[in-house]
Amino acid sequence: MSYKGKYKIKNLKKYRGDPTKVTYRSLWEKKFMNYCENNPDVIEWSSEEIVVPYKSPIDKRIHRYFPDFWIKIKKENGLTECVLIEVKPKKQLTQPKKPKRITRRYLSEVYTFGVNEAKWKAATEYCSDRKWRFKIITEDHLF
C-alpha cells in the first residue's frame, strides 16, 4: 500500500476545489479524506486549497502554508461550522527534548517544530478572522 498518491473523489458535489489535484501525503490523510466523503455531517470539504501566509521564524520571510483540509460541517444544533484541519503525528506537537549531544536530527526536529508553530499561529488567526476554527488532528483522533 502506498503512503502517498492521488485520491479519487467519489462525491463531486461535496468537494470544493479541483477534484483532479487531490493528493494524500500519508495514510492518515487518506483516512481523513474517506471520512469527509462518507460522513453525512460533512457538507463540503477540500484538501490543500486554502493558502495561509505565515512568517518563518527561520528566515523571517513570508511563506505560504496550505493546511491539509478545510471542512464545512453540520452541527447537532443545525448550524454549520467551517474548520481548517492539519493532520500531524502527535510527537510533532511538542518541542523536541534537548539531547546531551546535539545531532542533525535534533536540529531538524527543532526547525520543523518552529516552522509548524508559526504556521499554526497564522492559521489560528486566519480562522479567527473568518469565524472558523483551526484544529490539529493526530493519530488519537483517527484511530
Determine the Cα–Cα distance for residues 44 and 11; give it in Å rounded to an integer.
Answer: 10
Please name each of the domains of the chain with its CATH number.
5-142 (3.40.1350)
Each residue's pLDDT, cut to its tens digit, for the chain (143 residues) gives 678 999 999 999 999 999 999 999 999 999 999 999 999 999 999 999 999 999 999 999 999 999 999 999 999 999 999 999 999 999 889 999 999 999 999 999 999 999 999 999 999 999 999 999 999 999 888 76
Q: What pTM does this model have?
A: 0.90
Q: Which of 14, 29, 48, 119 does the annotation list as catalytic?
A: 29
- The three cell numbers of residue 20 are 483532479
Tell me, rounded to whole angstroms, the distance of Cα 78 from its chain centroid: 25
pLDDT at 47: 97
Determine the Cα–Cα distance for residues 77 and 79; give it in Å rounded to an integer.
Answer: 6
88 catalytic? Reply is yes
Give SS3 for 4: coil
Q: Which of 31, 55, 72, 88 does the annotation list as catalytic?
A: 88
In the chain the first and final C-alpha atoms are separated, in Å, by 18
49 catalytic? Reply is no
74 catalytic? Reply is no
Q: Which of 48, 68, 86, 119 does the annotation list as catalytic?
A: 68
